[in-house]
Amino acid sequence: MQNREIARLLAEVADLMEIGAEDGFRIRSYRNAASVIEGYPESIADIVRNPERKVTDVPGIGKGIAAILKDVVERGTFDKRDQMLEKYPPSALELLKIQGLGPKSIALLFEHHQVGSIDDLERLCKEQKLRDMPRMGAKLEEKVLRSIAQYRQRAGRFLLSFGQRTAAELIDYLKQTPGLEKVEAAGSLRRGRDTVGDLDLLATGPGAETALDRFTTHARVHEVLGRGANKASVRFGLEGLQVDLRALPNESYGAALQYFTGSKEHNVNLRGRALKMGLTLNEYGLVRLEDGVRVAGETEEGIYEALGMPWIPPELRENCGEIEAALEGRLPKLLQLSDMRGDLHMHTTATDGRGTLEEMVEAAQALGYEYIAITDHSKALAMSNGLDETRSVAFAKHVRELNGKGLGIRILSGLECDIKRDGSMDLAEDALAELDIVVGSVHSFMNMETVEMTDRLLRAVESPNLRILGHPTGRILLNREGYPFDFEGVASAAVRRGVCLEINASPERLDLSAAMVRTAKALGARFAISTDSHHPRSLRVNMPFGVLTARRGWLQASDVLNTLPVNELMQAIRKP
Ligand code: DGT
Ligand code: CA
Ligand code: CA
Ligand code: ZN
């Protein structure tokens, strides 16, 4: 069992215990253990099984959790979990994912109405029964109904980062099949969508059919959904992500890659174009209608070429004008990861980061960056030990001294300054003026009405020291919608004020979304792609997600602030 799966079991039981209003101390110890295990570099199951090791040597794992881990490794569950699942159905966990309902409310609903599923909850709201419950009201019914609709939309989808990890694991495994020539992922994963529904793997070579058997017998396959002569579908891992694998002949591999990469809308448009040229396009190839001769199919490039256009990068294949642009020779020269020369949003141990300033600098140097901005939180985030004016000014001075030492990388003193409820900055402007760069972000009071939130952000971009609007919508993928505001209005104000919009590269955020990036670009916006790292390794891990999102938004290197060489960057962010 993988660390991630063990962590999930613990976290789920903690959630159920929360619904059961059990001892907070114990709940916290489960959650802490889950977070330690999830981030632990070695396999916890291996340590538990190894008689020469003690799992209690892992920091944060005590005797109680160690006993649970032994149970989990031996039988896939543990006593407390069995107990909790007797008391509450597993579907109760789903209820926790509905925004607006905390564990206390769920416990109440369970007690009074035996609500065990989302459907039950929906019915209760529609029958207006929530309003009779303690501390609930008609407004909550509305909110819960909205949250349920949103939940259903995202249910069954997974973060791109999770899809990529799973695909990489399976591809590594399948590659060991003798005679397999190629295996790669198509579908939304290849297009770089922020979430994926399922994985679409393609394989070719004489070993491709053997690979199907290897696939369906993988140790983490929970269910084989189907197995045909050249296709198999499975549910993979505890999360139950569906994965399809297709075995293909070499001569139609390119056609299949094109077809299964999608998007569906892109393919429909492309097929229409083919028909006008007297050609038919499907997953087997591109064929001339009059005489049935195959004109392309082995490679994707060959297909696009035969249709009179250059190869279109998968990130653009959403039928948003890319085919027309390709035909007219005006596809953008998309941003690449290697264009990135620095990172402008990260945290350290001074607030809620896990790496010291030195460790972050080292990680950035390993990436060959010219500069990084350290942007810890400001004082409004008291729980994260955010910086006040005094600490912030001292930090700016410290960074000036560090840069005097010739580190080979420029450190920018920065701050992720909270945007307060009224749109003013959390720290006084004269303190902010001491810093090289200020990222302004909303972290609180996200439930404002559209007009108020718009005013708040419009005021924020007027701050003379603000350079970047951080994670502009506040969304958390598969979890929380962004707050509502007039995006075009705020983006236009940002353009006028020379404030960049962040593409937050954390795979849970990807905020702005690709669609918003494209809208803002049309308004003349400039962007910063930043990892929001809370750990040194995130500098490397997150950036590709930000770049993918930018590419999906049609961005070129010139649209992005942190592709600039250090001198030009310092010019671009200088004080008026
Ligand atoms: P997902 O899995 O929901 O994140 O999104 P996709 O784009 O991976 O969609 P999926 O897995 O249903 O199908 C993969 C690709 O296969 C899709 O992007 C285009 C192609 N495809 C699937 N079904 C159809 C179809 O009915 N018509 C056409 N033209 N293409 C299809
Ligand atoms: Ca898919
Ligand atoms: Ca699929
Ligand atoms: Zn933030």
pLDDT along the chain (576 residues), means of 10: 89 91 91 89 94 93 95 93 88 82 85 85 91 86 88 87 97 96 97 97 96 95 93 90 96 97 98 97 96 96 98 98 97 98 97 95 98 97 93 97 94 98 98 98 94 98 98 94 96 98 98 98 98 97 98 98 98 87
- In this structure, the dihedral spanned by the alpha carbons of residues 58, 62, 63 and 68, taken in order and rounded to 10 degrees, is -80
Q: Token pair 């972000």 is at which residue? A: 441
**∠ CA 507-509-515 to the nearest 5 degrees?**
105
For residues 388 and 350, the answer to whether their CB atoms sit within 8 Å is no
**What residues are paired with 198 via a beta bridge?**
242
In the prediction, which pLDDT does 115 show? Answer: 84
Atom 18 (ligand 1) nearest CA: 262
Identify the CA nearest to 399 among candidates 439, 361, 364.
Answer: 361
264 touches ligand 1 (CB under 6 Å): yes
Question: What is the length of the chain?
Answer: 576
Measured in Å, residue 175 CA sits from the centre of ligand 3 at: 20
CA distance 163 to 477: 14
In the prediction, which pLDDT does 325 show? Answer: 98
Its pTM stands at 0.84
Measured in Å, residue 417 CA sits from the centre of ligand 4 at: 9
Q: Token pair 């070129």 is at which residue? A: 556
What string of DSSP letters covers 313-343?
PGGGTTTSSHHHHHHTT----B--GGG--EE
For residues 390 and 430, the answer to whether their CB atoms sit within 8 Å is no
CA neighbours within 13 Å on the CB side: how many for 19?
27
Cis, bond preceding 466 (omega within 30 deg of 0): no
CATH match of 3-154 with 1.10.150.110: yes
Cα-Cα-Cα-Cα dihedral sign, residues 486, 492, 497, 499:
positive
Write the burial class of residue 294 (CB in 10 Å: 0-12 exposed, 13-18 middle, 19+ buried).
Answer: middle
Fold of 253-327: Beta Polymerase; domain 3 (3.30.210)
- SS3 call for 566: helix
Q: How many CB atoms lie within 10 A of CB 220?
A: 16
**∠ CA 151-153-157 to the nearest 5 degrees?**
90
Q: Which tokens hold the place of 511?
A: 């905020």
Mutate to test the pocket of ligand 1, among 267, 316, 478, 552 (most ligand atoms within 8 A of CB): 267
What are the domain boundaries of the chain? 3-154, 158-248, 253-327, 337-572
b/e per residue 146-161 (b: at least 16 CB within 10 A): ebbebbeeeeebbbbb
Identify the CA nearest to 262 among candidates 312, 337, 334, 332.
Answer: 312
Which of the ligands is closest to the CA of residue 160?
Answer: 1
**What residues are paired with 199 via a beta bridge?**
243
Which of the ligands is closest to the CA of residue 415?
Answer: 4
Measured in Å, residue 165 CA sits from the centre of ligand 3 at: 17
Query: Counting runs of H as helices and runs of E as strands, what totals does the chain give?
Result: 24, 17
Which of the ligands is closest to the CA of residue 244?
Answer: 3
Identify the CA nearest to 118 among candidates 88, 152, 143, 86.
Answer: 152
Domain 158-248: which CATH number of 3.30.460.10, 3.60.15.10, 1.20.1600.10, 3.20.20.80 = 3.30.460.10
Identify the CA nearest to 61 among candidates 39, 79, 83, 76.
Answer: 39
198 touches ligand 1 (CB under 6 Å): yes
In the prediction, which pLDDT does 163 show? Answer: 97
Measured in Å, residue 345 CA sits from the centre of ligand 4 at: 9
Measured in Å, residue 45 CA sits from the centre of ligand 2 at: 31
CATH match of 337-572 with 3.40.190.150: no
In the prediction, which pLDDT does 132 show? Answer: 86
- In this structure, the dihedral spanned by the alpha carbons of residues 118, 121, 127 and 133, taken in order and rounded to 10 degrees, is -170
Q: Which tokens hold the place of 549?
A: 């999102």
260 touches ligand 1 (CB under 6 Å): yes
Which of the ligands is closest to the CA of residue 269?
Answer: 1
Q: Which tokens hold the place of 33?
A: 């253990």
- SS3 call for 126: helix
Identify the CA nearest to 371 among candidates 403, 349, 330, 329.
Answer: 403
